[in-house]
Structure 1
Amino acid sequence: MVSAIPDRAALVAAARDTIRRGSKSFAAASSLFDRVTRERVWLLYAWCRACDDIVDAQDMGGALGDQSGAAERLALVRRLTAQAMAGQATGNPAFDALGLVARETGLTMAMAEAVIGGFALDAADWQPRTEADLMRYCWHVAGAVGVMMAVVMGVSPDDEDTLDRAADLGLAFQLANIARDLAEDDAAGRCYLPAEWLAEADLPPGEQLKPQYRETLAGLARRLCDMAQAHECSARVGAGRLRARQRWAILAAAGIYGDIARKVAARGDKAWHSRTVVSAKAKLAWIGRAGWRALRPVPASCHRGAQARRHTRKSLIALAEAKPWG
């Protein structure tokens, strides 16, 4: 029998430990929120981290474990999520955390299912064929999380344009992560570069990390980073509609994660000799810079940059509904 749901303080403490271990960058940015928002962000992050770790059989986003049984682990994630959203104790603090933050903010099962859809793709050993496939994957694993984060911050579920911008921040994060983690994903037998991109670049599938193809791979990584930059610009436009401290936190997160993409692009074919990181000093600098930007109007360059994005939340959802995965 599952015991009662832990009290709020215990769930918040567990979630705080999770974000500190799982994402130093996001933990740093979340410190800028007001206390209530900060705690709710931690609670949501804990669920996201737990889902990813369970489906991939990993710990805090580390090396992938044995991938057999992925379908069963995905079913477990869905069952625990449904229990949590129904207000039932799950026996897992991360899922209890989702139930708590959902009750406090109005998150829905449909929002959670959009995120779980990304884990389902990984469990099925899916790889993208087209750029649209890639972006729909990014929507599930990160853009949909951005929407949930926006609701946690108090954005109305009916504010479609602001939710689009929130999704764009998640898309920017995921595109940067994909560019940074090409070597790690290759070691795990995964590739998120669209097959059409590889064909256009005459890059044999499965051989993209070989020395003779590194320069070509760097060009594809820059393409990912340019896409991330356009979505980051869109997110900065949306951040201008948030309350001051929320705007500060989002601009800091956008800057820190944006630096990952910028560093990958700048390192060229050496980007995968070692993991690209943003130093603690650089993160502090972004926190200060974001505080200044939070007080200023969104620059025209951001509006122009946002226009370069080719995919929006609405278009990606429409694609997903019109064309089943497979």
Structure 2
Amino acid sequence: MVSAQPSRAAIVATAQESIARGSKSFAAASRLFDRATRERAWLLYAWCRRCDDLADGQEHGHGAVPVRNPQERLALIREATATALAGEQVGDPAFDALRIVASETRLPHGFANDLVEGFALDADDWRPRSEADLMRYCYHVAGAVGCMMAVIMGIDPADDETLDRACDLGLAFQLANIARDIEADDRIGRCYLPMEWLAEMDIPPGQHMKPPFRSRLTVLARRLAERAQAYEASARPGTPALPLRSAWAVLAAAGIYGDIAREVAARGEHAWDHRVHTGRLAKLGWIAKACWQAATRTRRYPPAPRDRELWTRPRHAR
């Protein structure tokens, strides 16, 4: 007897639970979308969250531990993702979420595969040597997600200018994550600070969390935060291309998550005493502010070329 497959509604409900448990910031911003976009955002998030949890040995983004079989986990991610993109039932709600959202949109498979390659870098215990290496990593694990979200919001996959801005927001989020999680990453043997940056500050490899180097580490954390703010600012002019409610959600997320980078910079040497997050009142404040920004976005963000000094995503993903 063949068991009944979960309905779309059931998979959406599971995806909603995933984002509620995994990211209160993204969950709050996602509620500003229209229903169809909101559900697809939840579906995409559920797949991203599941892949990340598998790669990092964690549960809904919490409690990461070193994994003993990273290549086996990567192989599982690759296989299930390929099955979902082929339109076939996977049997895992998160991967079936990707199947649904890919079938309902013009989601380029290249972006999804680029995200998987980010998990491959972690499975190989990869470390960035230069800032360019760091930005490539940020693209794979977050910038590509920004591009997928833009497509879900109705952007043409051939609209490189708008996708660049969407990628910028993903890069901003990931740079904020890295700044916030320097201590947490160190606990599981990871470091995303470029080796060239550590050498510049005369911090020996693997010693950046030691007390003697804390003041130097704050310089690098502030640098990450400044980079995050630059990409956040670059992302905002992409919002006139979006429907009103999508622009509202994006601008709210930019402000809510941008506060993480700003708070890391403000805390200095105490940035890692307690995990930085954006409080409920601050979230509500950004939601209100973003509503006005979205309503006036065409005037607020007139057409302008993207800053050439910023790192630019690869063009191969379609």
The TM-score range, normalised by the shorter chain, is over 0.9
| Higher mean C-alpha displacement, 278-287 vs 203-212 | 203-212
Aligned to 2:153: 153
Aligned to 1:175: 175
Mapped partners of 1:308, 1:201: distance in 2:
27
Answer yes or no: is the 8 Å Cα contact 2:147–2:163 preserved in 1: yes
C-alpha deviation, 1:129, in angstroms: 0.4
Mapped partners of 2:281, 2:301: distance in 1:
28
Structural mapping, 1:1-326, within 5 Å: 5-297=5-297, 299=300, 307=307, 309-314=309-314
Mapped partners of 1:2, 1:122: distance in 2:
38
Answer yes or no: is the 8 Å Cα contact 2:293–2:300 preserved in 1: no
C-alpha deviation, 1:9, in angstroms: 0.5
Mapped partners of 2:228, 2:192: distance in 1:
14
Give the AA of the match of 1:292: W
SS in 1 for 2:241: coil
Q: Percent identity?
A: 60
Mapped partners of 2:246, 2:130: distance in 1:
35
Gaps of 5+ in 2: none
SS in 2 for 1:190: coil
Answer yes or no: is the 8 Å Cα contact 1:234–1:302 preserved in 2: no
Answer yes or no: is the 8 Å Cα contact 1:19–1:46 preserved in 2: yes
| Higher mean C-alpha displacement, 119-128 vs 63-72 | 63-72
Residues 137, 302 of structure 1: alpha-carbon distance in 2 compared, 3 angstrom cutoff: farther
Mapped partners of 1:300, 1:96: distance in 2:
37
SS in 2 for 1:197: helix
Mapped partners of 1:63, 1:82: distance in 2:
27
1:52-109 Cα offsets, whole Å, 9 max, x none, are 1112221111222341111011101111111111111111000001000000002132
Answer yes or no: is the 8 Å Cα contact 2:179–2:225 preserved in 1: yes
C-alpha deviation, 1:299, in angstroms: 4.0
Give the AA of the match of 2:82: A
Residues 4, 117 of structure 1: alpha-carbon distance in 2 compared, 3 angstrom cutoff: farther
Give the AA of the match of 2:123: A
Residues 156, 40 of structure 1: alpha-carbon distance in 2 compared, 3 angstrom cutoff: same
Mapped partners of 2:32, 2:106: distance in 1:
23
Give the AA of the match of 2:234: S
Give the AA of the match of 1:127: R
Gaps of 5+ in 1: 321-326
Give the AA of the match of 1:68: R
Mapped partners of 1:92, 1:3: distance in 2:
14
Answer yes or no: is the 8 Å Cα contact 1:30–1:249 preserved in 2: yes
RMSD between superposed Cα atoms in Å: 2.0
SS in 2 for 1:240: helix
Residues 230, 2 of structure 1: alpha-carbon distance in 2 compared, 3 angstrom cutoff: farther
Deviating above 3 A after TM superposition, structure 1's stretches of 4 or more consecutive aligned residues are: 1-5, 297-304
Give the AA of the match of 1:266: A
SS in 2 for 1:292: helix
